[in-house]
């Protein structure tokens, strides 16, 4: 059966991968291509690449960034940030993206989604919705639209979107968990896959998201940068609660215990010794 996805988000500002806090503060992480390489190895089901600087000066997407990041990814890459017309979508896919997410432009003009779907297929066209104080906001969280998330999601579905990405501005960087109530409502009401983003602080939050809502995917940003194998730890937590995920890695942490904060419990020295001498040859295709 289809597995739910754990999506690694990389937010890029002026070419640098950053942690995002409430859409208003950004802390540097490093090279986005390096982050992508790690996430690709750590079991990410998709990469979500957001160029926060793309809208400035209306220069359009940074194709070089997309090319460098997607080169390392043998999982799908969704590109987002300042996408305003079908030609930009074409360029972004030619540069290495496999899907795109439109935000403000798609809300101002839903026919954009229809035009992207017409040329690239609806499955390629994601409508991203930023939600603050229970309403949809655009222009990097600065402008309220007066639209409810539900109406916006339904409009996007009607326009031919393939997926909805629902991001909570309020919870961005808060590490207190996803907005479960909102996500449960939207996922239930809309006949499209819903991707949740905003607030994930530890693996338990993804467990709660998947147990309490029908979303198809958990997108995670900041938290993935706090620990090695972060995505693998999330998947291990999901498996331990009985959920199925896709895992192609030998590092399944199956016999290891995490506390509620997602920290691994101390492992016996004898077990560490065993791991130390276990040789896992890299598969050469």
Partner 1 sequence: MIAIVDYGAGNLSSVRHALHRIGAQVTVAHCAGDLLAADGIVLPGVGSFGQAMIQLVARDFVAPLQELVGRQAKPLLGICLGMQLLAEHSTEGGDHRGLGLIAGRVERIVTEPGLVIPHVGWNEVVWRADTRLGQGAHDGAHYYFDHSYCLLAEAAIVAGTVNYGVTLVAAIESDNILAAQFHPEKSQNHGLRLIKRFVEEVAASC
Question: Per CB under 8 A, which region of 50-58, 87-95, 104-112, 129-137 contacts partner 1?
Answer: 87-95
Question: Per CB under 8 A, which region of 74-82, 177-185, 252-260, 273-281 contacts partner 1?
Answer: 74-82
Tell me if 62 contacts partner 1 by CB under 8 A: no
Distance in Å, CB of 109 to partner 1, minimum: 19
Tell me if 51 contacts partner 1 by CB under 8 A: no
Cα(113)–Cα(121) distance, integer angstroms: 10
Query: Residue count at the site for partner 1 (CB under 8 A)?
Result: 41
Question: Per CB under 8 A, which region of 8-16, 75-83, 224-232, 235-243 contacts partner 1?
Answer: 75-83
**Between 162 and 181, how does the x/- string for binding to partner 1 read (CB under 8 A)?**
xx------------------
- Among 123, 176, 212, 241, the residue binding partner 1 under the rule CB under 8 A is 123
Question: For residue 92, how far is the Cα from the chain centroid?
Answer: 18
Tell me if 99 contacts partner 1 by CB under 8 A: yes
Distance in Å, CB of 63 to partner 1, minimum: 10
Question: Per CB under 8 A, which region of 31-39, 95-103, 130-138, 253-261 contacts partner 1?
Answer: 95-103
Tell me if 2 contacts partner 1 by CB under 8 A: yes
Question: Per CB under 8 A, which region of 129-137, 141-149, 170-178, 190-198 contacts partner 1?
Answer: 190-198
Cα(283)–Cα(285) distance, integer angstroms: 6
Question: Per CB under 8 A, which region of 26-34, 121-129, 145-153, 229-237 contacts partner 1?
Answer: 121-129
SS (H, E, C) the chain: CCCCEEEEEEEEECCEEEEEECCCEEEEEECHHHHHHHHHHCCCCEEEEEECCCCHHHCCCCHHHHHHHHHCCCCCEEEECCCCCHHHHHHHHHHCCCEEEECHHHHHCCHHHHHHHHHHCHHHEEEEEEEECCEEEECCCCEECCCCHHHHHHHHHHHCCCEEEEEECCCCCCCCCCCHHHHHHHHHHCCCCEEEECCCCCHHHHHHHHHHCCCCEEEECHHHHCCCCHHHHHHHHHHHCCCCCCCCCCCCCCCCCECCCCCECCCCHHHHHHHHCCCCCCCCC
- Among 8, 35, 75, 196, the residue binding partner 1 under the rule CB under 8 A is 75
Burial of 146 (0-12, 13-18, 19+ CB in 10 A): exposed
| Paired tokens of 76 | 């799908």
Whichever of 74 and 276 has its CB closer to partner 1, that residue is 74
- Among 265, 269, 280, 285, the residue binding partner 1 under the rule CB under 8 A is 285
Question: What separation, in Å, do the N-terminal and C-terminal C-alpha atoms of the chain show?
Answer: 26
**Between 237 and 276, how does the x/- string for binding to partner 1 read (CB under 8 A)?**
---------x-x----------------------------
Tell me if 8 contacts partner 1 by CB under 8 A: no
Interface with partner 1 (CB under 8 A):
1-5, 45, 67, 70-71, 73-77, 90, 93-99, 117-124, 162-163, 191-193, 216-217, 246, 248, 283, 285
């Amino acid at each position: 059966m289809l597995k739910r996805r754990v999506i690694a988000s990389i937010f890029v500002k002026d070419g640098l991968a950053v942690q995002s806090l409430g859409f208003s503060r950004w802390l540097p992480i490093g090279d986005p291509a390096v982050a992508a390489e790690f996430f690709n190895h750590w079991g990410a089901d998709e990469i979500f690449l957001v160029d926060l600087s793309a809208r400035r000066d209306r220069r359009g997407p940074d194709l070089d960034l997309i090319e460098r990041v997607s080169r390392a990814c043998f999982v799908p890459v969704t590109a987002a940030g300042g996408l305003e017309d079908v030609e930009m979508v074409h360029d972004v896919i030619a540069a290495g993206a496999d899907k795109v997410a439109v935000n403000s432009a798609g809300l101002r003009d839903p026919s954009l989604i229809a035009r992207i779907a017409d040329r690239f297929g609806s499955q390629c066209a994601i409508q991203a919705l930023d939600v603050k104080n229970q309403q949809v906001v655009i222009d990097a969280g600065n402008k309220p639209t007066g639209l409810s998330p539900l109406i916006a999601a339904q409009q996007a579905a009607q326009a031919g979107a393939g997926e909805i990405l629902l991001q909570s501005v309020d919870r961005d960087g808060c590490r207190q968990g996803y907005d479960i109530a909102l996500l449960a409502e939207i996922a239930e009401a809309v006949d499209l896959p819903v991707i949740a983003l905003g607030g994930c602080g530890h693996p338990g939050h993804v467990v709660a998201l998947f147990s309490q809502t029908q979303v198809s995917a958990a997108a995670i940003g900041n938290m993935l940068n706090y620990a090695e194998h972060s995505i693998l730890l999330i998947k291990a937590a999901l498996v331990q609660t009985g959920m199925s995920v896709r895992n192609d890695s030998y590092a399944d942490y199956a016999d290891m215990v995490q506390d509620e904060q997602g920290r691994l419990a101390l492992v016996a020295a004898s077990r560490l010794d065993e791991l130390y001498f276990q040789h896992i040859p890299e598969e050469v295709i």
